[in-house]
Chain A
Amino acid sequence: MENYLAELEQLLHQLYQSDKEEAMNFYREYVMDADLTTYQQCIAELGTPKHLSRKILADYSIKADDRSAEHSNSKNPRSNIRLIWWIALALLASPLALPIFIVLITLVAVCFAIVAALSAIIIAFSLISVGLVIIGFGVLLQSLWTGLYYIGCGLLIFGIMMTTIPAVIGLLRWLIDKTAQLSKAIYQRFTNKKQLQQEDK
């Protein structure tokens, strides 16, 4: 039983100290009152420590997300990534959810592939523009107009790339945001489905 609680506490390390303490006190008391003396009994009643911790964490994360959504519309991409991660872990804890998890992973992979491709294009064009400017300066002494033409082209492309970068960053934020919302929706639908199955028994 102590092993079970110790394991749970370790898995809750992402939570704030006070939240962790509260959850741990609740389950420590629960385990004692329920007279769960062995590790196996704990698992039979509450599920594996991993399973329980993911349920607690996913609940906290979704709560935190709701709260931050109330305060401001622009969400922190880092907290969104963490949300996606936790929900992915929570889904992974149940074998039933494997197909959903695969879909989610695929979606995330596609999003990041798009972003990676766009970044590659931007980097390539930026290099070309720098190259053109250098060539332009090289040619400048031989032919003034050709040199100026190359420098102009280089600066033009460079300028376009500089204006695209914020747009790509915006797109990246938007993608992460949407993925977080989607995984939240999946998580909620999934937990509802699970409750249904339990009541069917």
Chain B
Amino acid sequence: MAIQMSSELLDGCVLAILDKEDYYGYALTQRVQGTISVSESTLYPVLRRLKNNQFVTTYDQPFQGRNRRYYQITAQGRDKLTSIRQDWVMFQANVDTLLKER
């Protein structure tokens, strides 16, 4: 596919996934890669950015004698997700208008 993901959209997708349930890094990467093709090293910067902007928080849970870091969406993150969704609907409608023009 020649259309690429913008970082804003990628943020939105990750927030949408985290809105359903909390994920740890690897599972989240798998989940995103299941639908869109991104490289394995793309998700770390995204998660870092979301955390720095306080759209997600993290907590550690023990797993087989080590810790897994889970990412959880915050109230601010939900607001951000709503606004990205709205922007996307607008954007999609605008692109559709042009693409369907004959």
B95 within 8 A of A: no
A32 contacts B4, C-beta separation under 8 Å: no
A195 contacts B24, C-beta separation under 8 Å: no
Residues on the A chain within 8 Å of B37, using CB: 198-199, 201
B39 within 8 A of A: yes
B40 contacts A45, C-beta separation under 8 Å: yes
A195 contacts B25, C-beta separation under 8 Å: no
Q: Can you give 22 A-B contacts (C-beta < 8 A)?
A: A26-B44, A26-B69, A27-B44, A29-B24, A29-B25, A29-B67, A30-B26, A30-B29, A32-B66, A33-B25, A33-B27, A45-B40, A46-B40, A47-B40, A47-B41, A56-B44, A56-B45, A59-B45, A196-B4, A198-B37, A200-B2, A201-B37
The interface bits of chain A over 171-201 (1 if a CB of B lies within 8 angstroms of the residue's CB, else 0) are 0000000000000000000001001101111
Residues on the B chain within 8 Å of A26, using CB: 25, 44, 47, 69
A55 within 8 A of B: yes
The chain A residues found within 8 Å of chain B, CB to CB, are 22-23, 25-27, 29-30, 32-34, 45-47, 52, 55-56, 59, 63, 192, 195-196, 198-201
Cβ of A173 to closest chain B Cβ, rounded Å: 29
Instruction: Knowing A22-B48, A30-B26, A33-B27 are in contact, say whether A199-B41 is a contact too (CB < 8 A).
Output: no
Chain A minimum-CB-distance residue to B48: A22
The B1-53 residues at the A interface (CB cut-off 8 A) are 1-5, 24-27, 29, 37-41, 44-45, 47-49
B26 contacts A25, C-beta separation under 8 Å: no
How many of chain B's residues touch chain A, expressed as a range? 20 to 34
B2 contacts A196, C-beta separation under 8 Å: yes
Residues on the B chain within 8 Å of A47, using CB: 40-41
B2 contacts A46, C-beta separation under 8 Å: no
Chain A minimum-CB-distance residue to B6: A192
Residues on the A chain within 8 Å of B48, using CB: 22
Those 6 A-B pairs whose CB atoms lie nearest each other, nearest first: A33-B26, A59-B45, A199-B1, A195-B4, A30-B26, A55-B41
Cβ of A124 to closest chain B Cβ, rounded Å: 49
Residues on the B chain within 8 Å of A59, using CB: 45
Residues on the A chain within 8 Å of B68, using CB: 29, 33
